[in-house]
């Protein structure tokens, strides 16, 4: 790891969704000369989203990938150094902080903003991947509106699934909710609300065989895992709500996290338990998970990093 020619960066941003790019915009304007590594999926989860209608400033809506190109171009125009590459390990035991890129080179940084995001857990069906963005979605709040007045299916049994089913019930004619066991994991209050909602139909002890449709979702095939009875339900969309997994594994030996891997930040800030390391976006937010909240927390992280570097005489 020792390298006398090692690059030392003032502000290193890991990840390139709305949080990372916003952090880069703010850090550039503050003359922190940020370097951003885009990671395995430049643009983050929005690059696998089609229409985005709920981000302010786009009255006609915008395609997710196009929106991320706008974010990237704005960060570049401000002077951010944006690079291809993925952080594969970190060593936060020394100053400056050390981050490994692509399992080969180590770079040093006076401050690090973690904005590596989260990935929706999927069922692993080939049809789910093929129809992702064509009726298959992992975010009812993002995409439910496109299926107003239609029948939809949702799979999941936790609070998120219950919340999303209730959200969809206000837009859609029928919400077919597929639950693997004979009970939900969701809190009692949420379960009661779901069961009281007339247009949510719950399928207990049920699993998804396949999502049907050539170019878009047309139906879902499910199986009762007690009776082996099969059903085909005509639907226009299939929402997966079985949880998200934060992209935080490489930080687990250093950074405080909750039991599911979301990074803990000091309330009201983006600060982690390690001085000079900040976290923004979905890697630390399991509640809202929206592009606009991720961007807001990216702004917070850049401002926190600027203040931190100022107190150290590094800015």
Separation CA 84–CA 86 (nearest Å): 7
Query: Is there a contact between 70 and 77 (Cβ–Cβ < 8 Å)?
Result: no
The Cβ of residue 221 has, within 10 Å, a number of other Cβ atoms equal to 14
Q: Which residues partner with 232 through β-bridges? A: 221
Separation CA 233–CA 160 (nearest Å): 22
State how beta strands 244-246 and 62-63 pair: unpaired
Nearest to 16 by CA among 8, 6, 25, 7: 25
- Out of 81, 102, 143, 172, the active site residue is 143
Q: Which residues have C-beta within 8 Å of that of residue 94, sequence separation ≥ 6? A: none
Separation CA 298–CA 293 (nearest Å): 9
- Residue 143 among the catalytic residues: yes
Tell me how far apart the terminal alpha carbons of the chain are, to the nearest angstrom. Answer: 26
State how beta strands 8-14 and 35-37 pair: parallel
- Out of 142, 172, 282, 285, the active site residue is 142
- Out of 139, 282, 285, 304, the active site residue is 139
- Residue 139 among the catalytic residues: yes
> Which positions are annotated as active-site residues?
139, 142-143
């Amino acid at each position: 790891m020792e390298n006398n020619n090692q690059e030392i960066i003032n502000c290193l941003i890991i990840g390139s969704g709305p949080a990372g790019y916003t952090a880069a915009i703010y850090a550039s304007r503050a003359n922190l000369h940020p370097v951003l590594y885009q990671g395995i999926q430049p643009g983050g989860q929005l690059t696998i989203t089609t229409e985005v209608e709920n981000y302010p400033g786009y009255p006609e809506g915008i395609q997710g990938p196009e929106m991320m190109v706008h974010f990237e171009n704005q960060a570049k125009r401000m002077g951010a150094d944006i690079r291809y590459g993925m952080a594969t390990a970190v060593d936060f035991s020394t100053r400056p902080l050390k981050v490994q890129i692509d399992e080969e080179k180590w770079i040093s940084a006076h401050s690090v903003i973690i904005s590596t995001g989260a990935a929706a857990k999927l069922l692993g069906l080939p049809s789910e991947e093929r129809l992702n963005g064509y009726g298959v979605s992992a975010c009812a709040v993002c995409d439910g509106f496109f299926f107003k007045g239609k029948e939809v299916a949702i799979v999941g049994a936790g609070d998120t699934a219950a919340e999303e089913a209730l959200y969809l019930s206000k837009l859609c004619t029928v919400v077919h909710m597929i639950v693997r066991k004979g009970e939900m994991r969701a809190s009692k209050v949420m379960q009661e609300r779901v069961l009281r909602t007339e247009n949510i139909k719950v399928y207990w002890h049920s699993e998804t065989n396949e999502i049907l449709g050539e170019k878009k979702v047309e139906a879902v095939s499910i199986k009762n895992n007690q009776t082996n009875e099969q059903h085909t339900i005509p639907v226009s969309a299939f929402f997966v709500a079985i949880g998200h997994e934060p992209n935080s594994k490489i930080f687990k030996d250093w950074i405080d996290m909750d039991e599911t891997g979301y990074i803990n930040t000091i309330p009201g800030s983006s600060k982690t338990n390690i001085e000079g390391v900040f976290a923004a976006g979905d890697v630390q937010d399991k509640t809202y998970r929206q592009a606009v909240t991720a961007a807001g927390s990216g702004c917070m992280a850049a401002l926190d990093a600027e203040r931190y570097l100022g107190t150290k005489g590094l800015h």
